Amino acid sequence: MLVAANLRPPVVSVAPLVDDIMGDLGFSSAAAGLLTTLPVLFFGFSAPIAPRIAARFGIERTIFGSLIFLILGMGLRFVPNIASLLVGSAVIGTAIGICNVVLPALIKRDFAHRSGLMTGLYSMTLSGGAAVAAALTIPIDDLDDGDWRLTLTSWTLLAVVALVVWIPQLTRVHRVAVSSTPTSLWRNRIAWAITIFMASQSIIFYTFSAWLPQYLIDHGRTAGEAGTTLAIGQVVALTASLLIPIVAGRFADQRAITLGVVAVCAAGFVGLVTVHVWTTLWVIMIMFGPGASISLVLLFMVLRSPSTVATGQVSGMAQSVGYVVAAIGPIAIGALHDVTGSWNLAMSVLGLALVPQALSTLLAAKNVTMKV
């Protein structure tokens, strides 16, 4: 859980500062979206190699090495040039992407008898890290006299804590027998349904988190108010990520509860673009969707796979394809806003990602087991 707490702040903390970054570097909305897109893109690029690294070095050492890379990436973003900022973002994405794949396999290995509870606690901590980053980034920036580079780098402290606490785990080496993803998995309808679900919820989470503060600022909110609203949404996502998988894990079939989550998120998008009051309510409903969905897709990986090996394989496939597709979101929505000048149109297009998510639910949440 302490490692999981580090897997979202380096990405989410960019959003409240995007206005300052755009002004300082002269970025357009599309270019600023790249700062959120690069880590997500490298989530996907690193996912296929994560099982092999864990098989070679063991889960414990793989996580330790990833934390070191995470600290290195955040340090690179402090260097005052654009190249270091972008390379640092890519290194951060690689480190987080490896942990994204390895940790669900760890849950399957050690907590198979409590998969719903442990998946909920893990994903709750993911959302909790995002909520803390959204709430504290602007106050930290104020303490740093508006130095956004120093503010982004400040999250290394949390990673250092996790690194130190993890050191005793290095005496234990559990090598996971994860082979290359077999061709059958790429032809497996259930694996593809989980992958599509992963991609859809990731597009919504990372794109909405990236542009919500700018959306609110453009509608008259201060940066502090925008960060607070995003933090409220993240807290709701945190709560949903804990409770929904615990409830869903009690049922063999999760289709009804998953479609309900998608419906709440859809209602939030409709309210946001059609009703010009109660913005915080619509944000809460939208963030409820990916908050619950990340827990659900992790639960699907565990429940739909017959073994720890298969969990690692489907986790690698879903996160590789899913995050690469999701990386398009922040840039595409930023570019759409640049061209049209309309946040309502941009958010409406983002909401369309719920359509493939709902369709994939019909198989990903069904009580079936993959044959691999």
Answer whether residue 372 is part of any domain.
Answer: no
Identify the CA nearest to 116 among candidates 235, 227, 248, 211. 248
In the structure encoding, which two tokens stand for residue 201, read together?
């919820």
**What pLDDT score was predicted for residue 177?**
57
DSSP label at residue 221: -
Answer whether residue 369 is part of any domain.
Answer: no
| Angle ∠(180,181,183) on CA atoms, nearest 5 | 120
Q: Are 230 and 15 in contact (CB under 8 A)?
A: yes
**Could you tell me the pLDDT band of residue 22, with boundaries at 50, 70 and 90?**
confident
Answer whether residue 79 is part of any domain.
Answer: yes
Answer whether residue 66 is part of any domain.
Answer: yes
| Helix/strand/coil for 79 | coil
Q: Which residue did the predictor score with more confidence, 209 or 179?
A: 209
Q: Which of 96-105, 164-173, 178-187, 294-303 has the lowest mean pLDDT?
A: 178-187
- 360 contacts: CB under 8 Å, gap ≥ 6: 193, 194, 196, 197, 200
Has residue 289 got a pLDDT over 90?
A: yes
Residue 167: C-alpha distances to residues 70, 71, 223, 298 (Å) = 16, 15, 38, 26
Average pLDDT rounded to a whole number, residues 21-38: 80
Average pLDDT rounded to a whole number, residues 24-32: 79
- 187 contacts: CB under 8 Å, gap ≥ 6: none
Has residue 372 got a pLDDT over 70?
A: no
**Could you tell me the pLDDT band of residue 21, with boundaries at 50, 70 and 90?**
confident
Which CATH number goes with the domain that contains 10? 1.20.1250.20
In the structure encoding, which two tokens stand for residue 134, read together?
């959204």
**What pLDDT score was predicted for residue 228?**
85
Answer whether residue 142 is part of any domain.
Answer: yes
Has residue 20 got a pLDDT over 90?
A: no
> Which residue range is the domain that position 354 belongs to?
4-364
DSSP characters over 152-170: HHTTHHHHHHHHHHHGGGG
Residue 179 burial class via C-beta count within 10 angstroms: exposed 0-12, middle 13-18, buried 19 and up: exposed
Answer whether residue 371 is part of any domain.
Answer: no
- 127 contacts: CB under 8 Å, gap ≥ 6: 8, 234, 237, 238, 240, 241, 291, 294
Report which listed range, 55-59, 96-100, 141-145, 353-357, is most confident. Answer: 353-357
Q: How many domains does the chain have?
A: 1
**What pLDDT score was predicted for residue 157?**
94
How long, in residues, is the chain? Answer: 372
pTM: 0.78
**Could you tell me the pLDDT band of residue 87, with boundaries at 50, 70 and 90?**
very high
**What pLDDT score was predicted for residue 209?**
85
Q: How many CB atoms lie within 10 A of CB 372?
A: 17
